[in-house]
């Protein structure tokens, strides 16, 4: 569990570094973008940015074994 929390925290920080230009939009569904991220082993993720600037990203990281699921939250404020 401790490893999972550490990986989740690292991925949250990593999510801020990866720019939108590095990802590929697959589809938009109900205000959510569905993307593929080559830097995470072509892992897919969903992304939503809310009116107050809050960002929510949930996805898969295929660069580690076993594959991990991450949740990233952010806000410039």
The 10s digit of each residue's pLDDT in 11-63 is 554 544 445 568 999 999 999 999 999 999 999 999 999 999 999 999 999 99
CA–CA separation, 61 vs 19, rounded Å? Answer: 16
pLDDT at 18: 46
Domain boundaries, the chain: 2-74
Instruction: Give the H or E element holding residue 73.
Output: strand 68-74
């Amino acid at each position: 569990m401790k490893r999972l929390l550490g990986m989740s925290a690292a991925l949250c920080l990593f999510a801020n570094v990866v720019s939108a230009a590095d990802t590929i939009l697959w589809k938009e569904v109900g205000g959510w973008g569905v993307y593929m991220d080559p830097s995470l082993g072509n892992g897919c993720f969903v992304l939503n940015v809310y009116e107050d600037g809050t960002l929510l990203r949930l996805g898969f990281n295929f660069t580690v074994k076993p594959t991990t699921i991450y949740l990233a939250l952010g806000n410039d404020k």
